[in-house]
Structure 1
Amino acid sequence: MNTPIATQNAPLTGIRVIDYSHFLAGPHMSRCLAAMGAEVIKVERPKAGDAGRAHGYFKDGQSGYFLQQNMGKQGLCIDLKDKRGLAMMQDLIKTADVFVENYRPGALTKLGLGYAELSKLNPRLVYCSISAYGHTGPDSAKAGFGLIAEAKSGAMAQLGTPGEVPPLLRMPIADMYAGVHGVAAICAALVGRATSGKGQHIDLALYDCMVSMHDYAVQRYYLSGGTDLPQRTGAGQPDSPIYGVFPGQDGYLVIAAQVDDAWKRLARLIGGETLAADERFAKPEGRAKNYAEATRIVEGWTKERTVRECLAALDAAEVPCSAVQTIDQVLADPQIHARNMVIEQQHPLLGIVKLPNLPFRFSDCDTTPKLPAPLLGQHNRAIAASLGYSDTEIDAMTKDGVLYSETAAG
């Protein structure tokens, strides 16, 4: 585990973020901002809180899903339908640099928390909205989740085996990708604010993010005059072989030998100089034309060996490869631990919990999360007091349920 010596403050130190989002895209975005040094205040509704709190895996009533995406944040649970709660939220907005939300367009305008309203309170506010389809266009009012964007974007249509139902991605690509784009856009808007003095509204759509991810399909369609559509190809990539999944005697591995030099090393390994010199496979177009035969040759070699034997030989030949690892294998991988990709946190109810870290590393500052995800309403009193509310006012709002906290939060 290599933690850098912190000779600088984290990059976003001094930036206050109000996270009024739920489930995944927004919370992941603000989690990244918190790791980079921002003070993030997670605002939730009374009793239920973020919908992510009801999403498993659970331990002792606590959601691992929520713990992972909300670490590093303070927790404020407030009733915005009460005029005192709305007034406190407005006071908080006046102190903020960034506001993050992922509700359906128009929903927060009804609460008085739309960009037009908040930018009047705080002209320097960078307001980031994430929604299924964005704030413009014929579908903007529709509800949607990452699954919808993944299906609608054409990504799902390229997965799986022809003739079978397309599989789920099983990782929230649309949400996580939108969250990362949000981080980039917010940081850019903050840089722009330094010269303009004004914030702005960032409008991110899950659907847009998924369409932007196409590295090949869109160009292929347009450059072919609309005649060439990507097809589902199962475990391989016929357009760019050898690049796919292959069976070993005791599991599966992937091989990425789509470039000429890698193919020659692979061919020499599995078929000697005869295969390496075979003109049918010398160039990418030839390997694509003879895809079935090239795949058959490679698969014949992998099937005769264990995955470990295949990897040892491929590594020695400098052919990019990996086992198809299960999660327990990933979490035992020395590379993951060397990169500090599993972090331990002390949770007030669960004790030590282990969760995935974020992937960015800075040479001169430590971005390890300092706080576990907050209990519901855990920091109500401290946040209200920082805004100038008296103990008497805080006690009254707590008694009336304007400020709410779960019992364990105090």
Structure 2
Amino acid sequence: MSAALPMLKGYRVLDMTQIVAGPTCSRIMAELGADVIKLELAPFGDRTRIGGLRSRDPLHKNSSRSTYYFQHNHSKRSLAVDMKHPRGVALIKALAARCDVLVENFSPGVMERAGLSYEALREANPGLVMCSISLAGQHGPLSRKPGYDYVAQAYAGVTDLIGEPDGDPAMITMAVGDTATGLTAAMAVGYALLHRERTGEGQHVEASLLDTYFQMHEVALPRVSLRPGYTPRRTGSQHPDGGPTGLFRCGDGRYIALATLPHQWEALVRALDMSELMADPRFATAALRRDNNAALKTLLEGWLARFDSSEAAIAALEAHRIPCAPVLSLNEAMAHPHLRERGTVRRVHDEVLGDFDIPGLPVRFSAWEPARELRADALGEHNEDVLSEVLGLGPEDIEALYAQEVLVQDRLIARGRRGTA
């Protein structure tokens, strides 16, 4: 592997985001070498600073660090500003004029009311790429509605499709939409920067949780639109198109995930050693197998019950190249040697929080490797560095901003800055 610079080295990003979706977008850019200035709102900063796990050490009881914040905001520089103060808004405008990218995830209308709309900022920086992340986009009937991941998945028709057929709809309790929207936004910013390299023009990029979730309907939309009166229904642990594809119980009480496409039906029959299924009229076509999926599930789970372990059943299926996997707990997944070897599970160290695991970058590059050591700032830790380096402010100017409470900082750092015990 050649010794290449990170792809985004030399780019500066002003990150005005919090929680997960926005910070995911800017964190990816930070890992790829961009100088990401995370602008946090006074007095507490990103709301995830009080989420996750925090230090139990009495010496750090007032620290602004948390595992939640670290995971989504490592590799950035924290600048903590009171956005409601006129001097704070002036600082943001001055920084935006010197940045390549600005990412924000306020409710639509907030940036405009603060005088920080794309139209206002592009006057001083025509090459600025501004990315706005929201629940439902910057325009439209739902655009001003506040909300998070779970609200978006409900509006997207996703929640209604999860759960048992005769039960209540179920919610995806992981930040699937948030994370996917952050990835989508990072992709869009990269393309907008490429456009700027070719034309010299910046632009305003939008990403929304609702749009991202709706993109996840991989096959149902044409069916609904072409079949009047058709409504997809919940199918529990089974795929609505059968296969058989879904979750199946093994003899040892554990579950496996099985995915069988139509062209793999004969291979599955061979794996089950049930040649009679090839002549069974219930399973003659993919559509019939879908319609008789309950019977297939019973047959398959009867076959799985013959094995002493789910591992043995998986080995028998894999011998015929049938895609399958054990249903692992998160603990088991984190310990899996494949995920450890690839850095999908990444061990990090924080001087306050100690050693713990976070997810790794979900892409790989042949000419660059991610940093082995990562760090997340305390609240406002780089106030002085950013303002002096980017805006050329002197110590007296910065102290005046502290005195006016335009700037805030982690209590432990502020105590050291003031030289008090």
Q: Same fold (TM over 0.5)?
A: yes
Structure 1 vs Structure 2 CA RMSD? 1.8
Partner in structure 2 of residue 20 of structure 1: 16
2:100 to 97, 100, 116: 97
Partner in structure 2 of residue 138 of structure 1: 141
Matches within 5 A, 1:23-172: 23-60=19-56, 62-172=65-175
Give the C-alpha shift of residue 293 in structure 1: 1.8
Q: SS of 2:136's equivalent?
A: coil
2:333 to 320, 327, 330: 330
Give the C-alpha shift of residue 282 in structure 1: 4.2
| One-letter identity of the residue aligned with 2:403 | K
1:300 to 299, 302, 305: 302
2:366 to 338, 363, 367: 363
Identity %: 34
Partner in structure 1 of residue 186 of structure 2: 183
Give the C-alpha shift of residue 67 in structure 1: 1.1
Kept in 2: contact 1:243–1:255 (CA 8 A): yes
Give the C-alpha shift of residue 54 in structure 1: 2.4
Kept in 2: contact 1:375–1:408 (CA 8 A): no
Give the C-alpha shift of residue 336 in structure 1: 0.1
Q: SS of 1:408's equivalent?
A: helix
Partner in structure 1 of residue 417 of structure 2: none
2:377 to 359, 374, 387: 374
In structure 2, relative to structure 1, the CA distance for the partners of 1:123 and 1:74 (3 Å cut) is same
Equivalent-residue separation in structure 1 for 2:52 and 2:148 (angstroms): 17
Matches within 5 A, 1:386-405: 386=389, 387-405=391-409
Give the C-alpha shift of residue 292 in structure 1: 2.1
Q: SS of 2:347's equivalent?
A: strand
Give the C-alpha shift of residue 373 in structure 1: 1.9
1:406 to 394, 404, 410: 410
What is the count of residue pairs matched by the alignment? 404
Shifted more, 233-242 versus 281-290: the winner is: 281-290
Kept in 2: contact 1:73–1:371 (CA 8 A): no
Task: Give CA deviations for 1:286-344 in whole Å, capped at 9, x if unaligned.
Answer: 31232222221111112333212211211222211111100110011011012111223
Equivalent-residue separation in structure 2 for 1:391 and 1:381 (angstroms): 8
In structure 2, relative to structure 1, the CA distance for the partners of 1:38 and 1:277 (3 Å cut) is farther
Kept in 2: contact 1:37–1:367 (CA 8 A): no
Q: Which runs of 5+ in 1 are unaligned?
A: none
In structure 2, relative to structure 1, the CA distance for the partners of 1:370 and 1:110 (3 Å cut) is farther
Give the C-alpha shift of residue 52 in structure 1: 1.7
Task: Give CA deviations for 1:50-82 in whole Å, capped at 9, x if unaligned.
Answer: 112222344446322211110111110112233
Kept in 1: contact 2:42–2:83 (CA 8 A): no
Q: Which runs of 5+ in 2 are unaligned?
A: 415-421
State the TM-score, normalizing by the size of structure 2.
Answer: 0.91
Give the C-alpha shift of residue 244 in structure 1: 0.3
Task: Give CA deviations for 1:362-405 in whole Å, capped at 9, x if unaligned.
Answer: 00112237542211001111111102111111122223322211
Equivalent-residue separation in structure 2 for 1:202 and 1:353 (angstroms): 34
Kept in 2: contact 1:34–1:369 (CA 8 A): no
Q: SS of 1:108's equivalent?
A: helix
Shifted more, 177-186 versus 232-241: the winner is: 232-241
| One-letter identity of the residue aligned with 1:319 | I
In structure 2, relative to structure 1, the CA distance for the partners of 1:378 and 1:12 (3 Å cut) is same
Shifted more, 347-356 versus 142-151: the winner is: 347-356
2:386 to 369, 383, 389: 383
Structure 1 moving runs of 4+ over 6 Å: none
Partner in structure 2 of residue 244 of structure 1: 246
| One-letter identity of the residue aligned with 1:297 | L
1:284 to 282, 286, 291: 286
Kept in 2: contact 1:28–1:179 (CA 8 A): yes
Equivalent-residue separation in structure 1 for 2:79 and 2:221 (angstroms): 44
